[in-house]
Amino acid sequence: MHTYSLQTPLKQEDILQLKAGDAVQISGRIYTARDAAHKKFLETLDSGGELPFPLQGAVIYYVGPTPAPPGKAIGSAGPTTSYRMDSFAPRLHSLGVKATIGKGKRSEEVKNSLQEYKAVYLGATGGAGALLSQRIKSCEVIAFEELGPEAVRMLEVEDFPTLVVNDAYGNELYTF
């Protein structure tokens, strides 16, 4: 097991060095989206529109953060259960998304997609939202404000801690 510090947007060589169980600290820009936003993503794409952020090398964090307390960029920002995004993830991988962050297991379809499109699924520690929020330096709603906590946000993160759960080679941390 190794520890990597990666800068977004992620490149294919970043992904190909990672193995299930590796620790990854992410710095740069990541985007939040849960199931309601993912549904709108596909509707937008199906109607010929563009998404509110570049997909090439993108990292999507499955989170619905709480409101920011005074003096903070964001409130508690712990991961949500990832399987709710499983029906959307393969298409986003095919369009260039290189990593998603959440908690829990992924479907076989998503695991196959990670291998086909050379992407990874990263786990963040559930129940540690207050600690994770300390790694988020800024937060801006960039789409679907009407979704409240599930609106799409652009986050600037510094050394955001994750573990590789599923790598681009078919390995899974949860089966070790």
Per the annotation, the verdict on 2 as an active-site residue is no
Query: Two tokens at 59?
Result: 């990292």
Alpha carbon separation from 137 to 27, 33, 156 (Å, rounded) = 10, 18, 5
Alpha carbon separation from 118 to 5, 17, 88, 90, 163 (Å, rounded) = 18, 11, 16, 11, 17
Q: In a 3-state reduction of DSSP, which class is residue 32?
A: strand
Backbone angles phi, psi at 145, to 5 degrees: -55, -30
Q: Which of 14, 20, 35, 38 is catalytic?
A: 38
50 burial (CB, 10 Å; 0-12 / 13-18 / 19+) is exposed
Catalytic positions are: 38
